[in-house]
Amino acid sequence: MFSLEGMNALVTGASGGIGSEIARALAAQGATLALSGSNAEKLAKFGAELNAESGRDHAQITCNLGKASEVDGLIPAVVEKLGGIDILINNAGITRDNLAMRMKDEEWDDVIRINLEAAFRLMRASARPMMKAKFGRIISITSVVGSTGNPGQMNYAAAKAGLVGMSKSLGQELASRGITVNCVAPGFIRTAMTDELPDAQKDALNARIPMGRMGEGGDIGAAVAYLASREAGYVTGETLHVNGGMAMLG
């Protein structure tokens, strides 16, 4: 069940904490991956690890999502390297936190450009080959703050909420072609960054979560693997919240 054998997937932000676990989950189910990121060294290191773990060669494509020309070239590069694209995972994202009254134009622009506009460009570009194949899975990683908001993150929350709206719209456009468009919204997930937080701050975060702990990257990977599968073919326009009960959203 949930086999992805014979399917080609692009994961953006693939060398990051959540991105790498998504890539591992898809590869474990048999998908062949194009791993994308802006840091060529980190990408190459993770690519070598994944190749060793999976016993298959996965492509690595360096891309700066802040540059429209590079974004627009990413899907054609994936199709050239893998022969097609069945699964698009919009995972890459940045934060530029600040209170609204202090937020600079570039802090707003950077987050919207990379977290929202780049995802739109990749969705638009991947739709054409998926429509020809009459099959596709487009999954965007949003965030609980896209639904709840968060002080100091107007830009980030707007971008994440925007991904949900875009996915619902595109899901309606592409449903008749066998293409689903969904989101996975993580809550607090344990990463190298959160590991460095003081224990008191970790305890305060965990106290907000009914399960009493942060999630793991593998929790997000598992959710993505389900939505990418053929078995999830009747699920579209949805957001799967993976947050340990922190925000129980309908």
Spans of the chain, pLDDT less than 70:
1, 193
Angle at 87 between CA 84 and CA 92, to 5 degrees: 115
Superfamily of the domain at 8-241: NAD(P)-binding Rossmann-like Domain (3.40.50.720)
Q: Any idea where the domains of the chain sit in the sequence?
A: 8-241
- Provide φ and ψ at 13, rounded to 5°: 60, 35
Q: In the chain, what's the furthest Cα-to-Cα distance?
A: 53
d(CA 111, CA 109): 6
**Cβ atoms of 40 and 55 closer than 8 Å:** no
Dihedral sign of CA atoms 238, 242, 244, 247 in order: negative
Task: Identify the pLDDT of residue 1.
Answer: 67
Question: What's the Cα-to-Cα distance from 138 to each of 102, 109, 200, 232, rounded to whole Å?
Answer: 35, 24, 38, 12
**Residue 175 DSSP symbol:** G
Nearest to 59 by CA among 71, 72, 77: 77
The residues annotated with a catalytic role in the active site are: 156
What is the C-alpha separation between 248 and 116, in angstroms, rounded?
24
| Cβ pair 153, 106 in contact under 8 A | no
Give alpha helix (H) positions in the chain. 17-28, 40-54, 68-82, 105-111, 118-133, 145-148, 154-174, 192-195, 199-207, 217-228
pLDDT at 192: 76
Helix, coil or strand: residue 34: strand
The token pair that represents 221 in the structure block: 């990977």
Strands ordered across the beta sheet of 239-242: 59-62, 32-37, 8-11, 87-90, 136-141, 179-186, 239-242
